[in-house]
């Protein structure tokens, strides 16, 4: 149930809902600087819960610094980086751009945008948990293929810029749900590939995915500036989904021959079994 566990942990993304719901009215009442001051309160609450309840994991095996650094040039790590740019990068990129989209395209007042954005962001957070669980059941590779097809279809639909804002909300709910499920599926696979380096791998993949979140807002802004439409920005999201599908096509056969089961399901290993040497297994199957 690694996918489910990682999905639950990653559902903290739902904190963005608080931002879109409360930040605009607070800014209107007290100014934007005060909003950052108010953000201290949930941060302090999280720190308190961490201090009371958090425990260090009982790791049985650790790698040395040299092994940790190898992940920076590991092929699979960079494939995961690309996949996570599509799912998590797409999520944070579109989340940051939703206010601009609904204001510029539909003329909605900025302090009222939260009611349109909240359902979209909640969908991504809920589906991150469900996506991790479904990846456990059907396999992370199969799950990601499905997710990327849905992201492709929904971003193409959004590129037509439907006239009714609630239709756009519905399209974005589908898109964000797929991205959330994709986030869960990626991190169902990461602990299977990097069993003794999950924290380091997760940090790298999360960082690159977050940096990739700047791609879609820039594409959307440039499309509006040079073409007068958000359509090119949404189509760039479709292109990212295609890149994810192609990347999976290149690596899925190698992955299922070495460190993961059919369609990306976890292999059955007893606790005493040695974690397989991926490089050696690839050499045997080449």
Query: Residue 106 pLDDT > 90, yes or no?
Result: yes
Q: CATH number of the domain at 1-20+75-254, please? A: 1.20.1250.20
Tokens of 183: 């986030």
Q: How far is CA 103 from CA 69, 180, 190, 202, in A?
A: 45, 24, 38, 35
Neighbouring C-beta atoms of residue 131, cutoff 10 Å:
34
Tell me the C-alpha distance between 19 and 145, whole Å. 31
Q: Domain boundaries in the chain?
A: 1-20+75-254
Distance CA 211, CA 203 (A): 12
pLDDT at 8: 67
Mean of pLDDT values over 95-120 = 88
d(C-alpha 258, C-alpha 274), whole Å: 14
Cβ–Cβ under 8 Å, residues 144 and 243: no
Least Cα distance to 14 among 125, 120, 131, 176 occurs for 125
- How far is 32 from 239, CA to CA, in rounded Å? 35
Determine the Cα–Cα distance for residues 34 and 189; give it in Å rounded to an integer: 41
Assess whether pLDDT exceeds 90 at residue 189: yes
Q: What is the pLDDT of residues 223-252, one digit of tens each?
A: 999 999 999 999 999 999 999 999 999 999
In this prediction, residue 275 carries a pLDDT of 47
- What is d(CA 116, CA 6) in angstroms, rounded to the nearest whole number? 28
How deeply is 150 buried, as exposed, middle or buried, from its count of CB atoms within 10 A (0-12, 13-18, 19+)? Answer: middle
Q: What is the pTM of this model?
A: 0.83
pLDDT of residue 274: 40
Q: Using CA atoms, how far apart are residues 124 and 177, in angstroms rounded to an integer?
A: 4
Condensed to tens digits (0 to 9), the pLDDT of residues 40-84 reads 998 899 899 989 998 877 666 666 788 788 899 999 999 999 999
pLDDT (average), residues 137-157: 96
So what's the pLDDT on residue 270? 40
- What is the Cα–Cα distance from 155 to 244, expressed in whole angstroms? 14
The helix/strand count (H/E) of the chain reads as 14, 0
Compute the C-alpha angle 122/37/11, nearest 5°: 20
Q: In the predicted model, is pLDDT for residue 100 greater than 90?
A: yes
Model confidence pLDDT, tens digit, residues 247-268: 999 999 999 999 999 989 988 7
List the single range of 63-67, 152-156, 189-193, 196-200 with lowest mean pLDDT: 63-67
The answer to whether residue 163 scores a pLDDT higher than 90 is yes
């Amino acid at each position: 149930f690694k996918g489910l566990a990682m999905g639950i942990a990653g559902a903290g993304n739902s904190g963005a809902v608080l931002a879109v719901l409360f930040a605009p009215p607070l800014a209107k009442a007290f100014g934007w600087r005060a909003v950052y001051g108010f953000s201290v309160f949930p941060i302090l609450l999280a720190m308190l819960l961490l201090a009371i309840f958090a425990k260090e994991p009982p790791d049985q095996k650790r790698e040395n610094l040299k092994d940790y650094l190898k992940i920076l040039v590991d092929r699979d790590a960079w494939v995961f980086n690309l996949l996570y740019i599509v799912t998590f990068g797409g999520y944070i990129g579109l989340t940051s751009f939703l206010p601009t989209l609904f204001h510029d395209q539909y003329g909605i007042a900025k302090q009222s945008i939260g009611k349109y954005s909240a359902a979209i962001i909640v969908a991504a957070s809920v589906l991150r948990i469900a996506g991790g669980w479904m990846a456990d059941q059907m396999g992370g590779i199969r799950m990601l293929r499905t997710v990327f097809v849905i992201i492709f279809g929904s971003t193409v639909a959004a590129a037509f810029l439907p006239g009714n804002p609630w239709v756009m909300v519905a399209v974005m709910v589908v898109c964000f749900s797929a991205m959330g499920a994709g986030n869960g599926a990626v991190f169902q696979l990461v602990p299977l590939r990097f069993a003794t380096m999950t924290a380091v791998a997760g940090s790298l993949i999360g960082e690159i995915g977050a940096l990739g979140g700047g791609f879609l807002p820039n594409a959307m802004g440039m499309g509006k500036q040079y073409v007068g439409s958000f359509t090119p920005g949404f189509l760039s999201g479709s292109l990212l989904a295609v890149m994810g599908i192609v990347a999976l096509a290149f690596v899925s056969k190698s992955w299922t021959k070495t460190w993961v089961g059919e369609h990306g399901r976890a292999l059955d290993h007893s606790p005493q079994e040695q974690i397989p040497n991926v490089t050696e297994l690839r050499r045997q199957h080449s």
